[in-house]
A and B are shown apart, each in its own frame.
Chain A
Amino acid sequence: MSKISSAITEIHRIEDLQKRDQWLNRIHPLVKLACTCFYIVCLVSFNPYDILGVLSMGLYPLILFMTGDLSITDCLRRVRIVLPLVCLIGIFNPIFDRAPMLLFGFAVRAGFVSMLTLIMKGVFAVLASYILIASTSIENICYALSILHLPGILITETLLIYRYVGLLLAETERITQAYSLRAPGQKGVHFKVWGSLAGQMLLRSMDRANDVFASMSLRGYSSDFRYRKSGIRWRAFDLLYLAVWCCAFLFLRNFPLFEIVGSLFV
């Protein structure tokens, strides 16, 4: 299977995850969106040297992965492109921040601790976003955004980009397949035709964009996007879920969980 086919299949698999009949999938999309945003805000607000505090925030993705029947292996495979970038963020900290500090009784460079903290923050944020995406369809996320009164144009863009990614991938696959069938034995696309292939993609994209806009206009679109999702209802459990997690995040942010738990045993 080509890389492009794999990408399309991955999109389909994530859509299958979104459609599962799991308790996590049934939670109101606005609650999940708010929870994820609040989690990320709390996460990034930690002191760069508070490694245990940040580590305790890992409970949120851990619990949801376990109870939501999500596979951490699949998740790591899907976000494998992002993770190295996340890890790169703090890579220079140990060089520039050489002050000594104690970590688990060992003297280490403060920059090393802040690098680990940054990596953990990045990884946890990616995991939390993955949980949101794996349990909430793009329409439901857009519905949540529309409840928040985000500008319609942004919601439309989000929906259309998602739809367009599939079309663009399919178009790219057609072009590259047509190329490879007439260039046997070549690995990849020769650099001499990169320009014309990219040009073709651009022209086709513009044509498609024109057609899609025409189709929208013919069905009454006039920049005021009307999107509703009638099947979603608020339940008491949704509010409870939000309240419990928000309290948990605030607690973890303000109290050292591991020290408290440790003091119970020591």
Chain B
Amino acid sequence: MRQIEIRNLTFAYMKGADILKDISLSVSPGESVGLVGANGAGKSTLLKILVGLNPGFAGSVTVGGIPVEKGTLPKIRQKIGYVFQDSDSQLFMTTVGEDVAFGPRNYGLSESEVRARTDRALAETGITHIKDRPIMRLSGGEKKLASIATILSMEPEILLLDEPSIALDPKNRRNIINILNRLQATKIIASHDLDMIMDTCSRTVLMGDGKIIADGPTDKILRDKALLEENSLELPLRLQ
């Protein structure tokens, strides 16, 4: 069974200016899919549609067999964790620990389970030592790790990550890659960091002008210099 099934998806923020055009895509459980493409290709928009942040699309989108529509959003959002591009949008509580505990508490888990999940998520991301630190005092890398921890504490089946390595130093970037590789959940990672996609995803979907241009093994797509350049991308640095 497919975990994510998108059929003939079309979406526009304003009438007549389609951002996504007749997209069809399937993702199986446990798959790690890289979503690449130039700025404005529709990567973030597609991710937001999967969690119901962009309603009003045409076509069908199902997550775990449940159609994405207003009435099913609470169920869908329990299955999917979405990591925002900008960590400051993701983190709104005052301390890291409270932010990580926010999701589990909202789903009505017992306080002991909330604590256990919070501690687990912090340990998985290696930030247990900043549990009580105010969000305002985190570095960019710590904010990104905290953002991921806030999602991991909800133990989602699917993880959507929007530019997880943006503005990170090499060490933090490598740390995020290692964390992502350890996670068993299905992952869709939208990024311009093609080296990171090579390290984390077995499959890559190349988007351009709101359409899927190519879909296949990462090794094949990210080595196709002509295809990448046609879509305003370049070969990953390690292949240049």
Whether B106 lies near A219 (C-beta < 8 A) is yes
Whether B136 lies near A220 (C-beta < 8 A) is no
Whether B137 lies near A214 (C-beta < 8 A) is no
Whether A221 lies near B93 (C-beta < 8 A) is no
Whether A12 lies near B136 (C-beta < 8 A) is yes
Whether B105 lies near A137 (C-beta < 8 A) is no
Q: Which of A15, A138, A216, A224 contacts B92 (CB 8 A)?
A: A216
> Which residues does chain A contribute within 8 Å of B151, judged by CB atoms?
219
Q: Which of A137, A167, A219 contacts B102 (CB 8 A)?
A: A219
> Which residues does chain B contribute within 8 Å of A15, judged by CB atoms?
134, 136-137
Question: How many chain-B residues does the 8 Å CB contact rule pick out?
Answer: 35
Whether B103 lies near A220 (C-beta < 8 A) is yes
Which chain A residues have a beta carbon within 8 Å of chain B's beta carbons? 8, 11-12, 15, 19, 137-139, 159-160, 162-163, 166-167, 208, 211-212, 214-222, 224, 226-228, 230
Interchain CA distance A223-B94 in the complex, whole Å: 18
Flag whether B84 is at the interface (Cβ < 8 A): yes
Whether B86 lies near A211 (C-beta < 8 A) is yes
Which chain B residues have a beta carbon within 8 Å of chain A's beta carbons? 51, 53, 74, 77-78, 80-82, 84, 86, 88-90, 92-95, 98, 102-103, 105-108, 111, 114-115, 132, 134-137, 150-151, 154
Whether A139 lies near B106 (C-beta < 8 A) is no
- Closest CB in chain B relative to A207 CB, distance in Å: 9
Whether A220 lies near B106 (C-beta < 8 A) is yes
- Closest B residue to A230 by CB, please name it: B111
Query: Can you spell out 21 A-B residue pairs with CB atoms less than 8 angstroms apart?
Result: A11-B136, A12-B136, A19-B132, A163-B93, A163-B136, A212-B89, A212-B92, A215-B89, A215-B92, A216-B92, A216-B102, A218-B77, A218-B81, A219-B102, A220-B74, A220-B106, A224-B106, A226-B106, A228-B105, A228-B111, A228-B114
